[in-house]
Each structure stands twice: as structure tokens, then as C-alpha cells.
Amino acid sequence: MASIRKLRGRWQAAVRRKGMAPRSKSFDSKSDAERWARSLEAELDRSGALPDMRVAESTTLRQVLERYKVEISPTKRSAVTEIARINAILRRPICFRTMTILSTSDLAAYRDERLLTVAPATIIRELNTISHAIDTARREWNIHLAINPCKLVRRPSPPRGRTRRLEGNEEQILLDAADAGRVRYLRPMIELAIETGMRRGELLALQWEHINLGTRVAHLPMSKNGFSRDVPLSTRAIATLKGLQTDARTTVFETAPNTVRLAWSRLTRRVGLKNLRLHDLRHEAVSRLFERGFNVVEVASISGHRELKMLSRYTHLRAADLAERMQ
């Protein structure tokens, strides 16, 4: 049984078990001392041995995240975005908490504070990153914790999936504006996004050696979810690609993601189309496939969605179009 006592102005928690060396630690508050003792006793009850908590007691969340950023993040395909996310977390005061003191209330307060300035989806990703870093520390870095406190923290409700589709003559407005602009690759990129449902990153990574105009198939060796896939090409997509074909390039589009983002932003602002993202063209492409009569499995093989639940978020059929098919 743990004992809690006040000693020289601080609260000391002590855990003693027969046949084992006693462990004690002092805290500024009684609640922190009680939490530390409960965590230690829970670990002892589960393992039958008193774990060495000294590493966890001297290691801060900052140190865990910094090590995770160096050793784990670079192995992921999303390394750039995850490292940027960790750098943002490292600027928060919660990172000064040691691993034994870090509590669910600390993380809940962090969540609520961040919700004042960023979207719920950002908070969900940040908490998931923290949680995975703590799990890695527990499994591989000798950080003994009875539980991962981040797993107990309630995540904010995720945002609803976007339903934005092209309406009326918006597609033609975009194409005409792209023709009038100085960015020559923008029109073919818009056309291919609508015809293939590819993501921006997939379009930018598309290489000529992986395109077979004869069989009308574009091969993607690596997509966002880590799998390869073959994308069938429509007649319009073939015509667009033939207009871009050249021996001077290995990739279809030789430009950076941020350059595309800025060009799209200028284009939509110039024509006055609000709340329209380049990724919405993927929504449009998937919805059009369903409207043409493709079934769920066929659409998933084209779009690369691994979960049908996620596919439903990208599919927004027009009621008027469905009504025409009903007798």
C-alpha cells in the first residue's frame, strides 16, 4: 500500500512491497504524488515486479517527441508534414511535463486550448502523434508507464466530409480562366484531376514511363495509402496527355506542390469561385464515376480508396441525376 506524507513542504509518495526495494518520490501537489503512486502500484500488480521508473521520471514529453522526430518520423511517407506537426507541438508548455507527471487532464487542457486557434482535425492528428510517440517510448525506449494517458483523452468530433462539387458551368469557367492565365500546366491538370480522380501528389508524381496510351492505363507505383494502383484513362484524359507528351521530361508535370497550390488559389480568386479546392475535383471525379454506373468496387479500384467508409465521404450524387434513373 502506498503512503503519502508531507515532508519539508512537499508531498512524498512511497511504495513498498515485501521482497522489493522501496521507491519514493516527492511532488509539489498531493494529487501528483497520489497519481504517481497509483501508476506504480498498477504496474507492479500487472507485472509482479517493481519497474524502474527513473528514466520516465527524468524524461520530458519534449525529449520523447524530439527523439521520435529523429528516429521514427523520417521512416514515414508523411515525414515532412509529421515533423512540421511535431515542431508545432514542441512550442507548447505541455512538453515540459515529465512522462510520469503527464496526465490526461494536461492533455485535455492542451486539446481545449488548441481548439481555440486550429481545426478539430488538426487536434486529432496532434493527439494521435503524441499517443504514438508515447507508445513507442513505452515499447522501445525503456520508458515505464502503466498507461498511455493520451489514449484516454477524448478526441474532438472530426469535421464533416466536404460536399463541394462543380455546379453549372464552373468547370468551363475554370478551363477558360486557365487558358487565359500564364500557368500553362493548370488546364491539363484540372482536366486530368476530373477525369482520373488522382490526388495532387499523384498527378505531380506521374511519370511518362508509367503511362501506356495504347492500353489507356496510368500506373501509380506508390499512392498516398502506400499501395500501387492502375488508373484507367478516358478518351479526354488520353487527349490531354498527348497534348503534354514530350521527350524532354520524365514526369508529366514538373512543378512543386506549393507552386500548384498558389496557382490554384490565384485562379479561383480571379474567377470568383469561393470554397473550391483542387482536391474537390477528386470528389467530382468519384461522384461522376458513380453517376456513370460504376459500382463501389470498380470506383474504389480507380480512386485507390481502401475503405468503403472513406469512399462514401467523397461521393456526393446529385438527387436530380438519380431521379432521372428512376421510373
* From 23, 69, 282, 288, the catalytic residue: 282
Q: CA of 279: how far to CAs of 174, 175, 261, 282, 324, in Å?
A: 14, 16, 10, 5, 28
Catalytic residue (choose from 85, 144, 200, 305): 305
What grid cell was written down for 149? Answer: 494517458
The residue annotated as part of the active site, out of 224, 242, 288, 306, is 224
User: Is 283 labeled as catalytic in the residue annotation?
Assistant: no
Confirm whether 68 is a catalytic residue: no
When computed from its CA atoms, the radius of gyration of the chain, rounded to whole angstroms, is: 27
Q: Could you say which of 314, 316, 318, 325 is catalytic?
A: 314
Q: Is 54 a catalytic residue?
A: no
144 carries an active-site annotation: no
**Cα–Cα distance, 182 to 262 (Å, whole number):** 13
Active-site residue among 199, 229, 283, 288?
199
Q: Identity (one letter) of the amino acid at 302? A: I
Active-site residue (options: 132, 279, 313, 316): 279
305 counts as catalytic = yes
Helices and strands: H and E segment counts in the chain? 15, 6
Amino acid at 16: R
224 belongs to the catalytic site: yes
Closest Cα partner for 174 from 289, 55, 292, 284? 284
Closest among 45, 141, 61 to 93, alpha carbons compared? 61
Helix (H, G, I), strand (E, B) or coil at 57: helix
Active-site annotation, residues: 199, 224, 279, 282, 305, 314
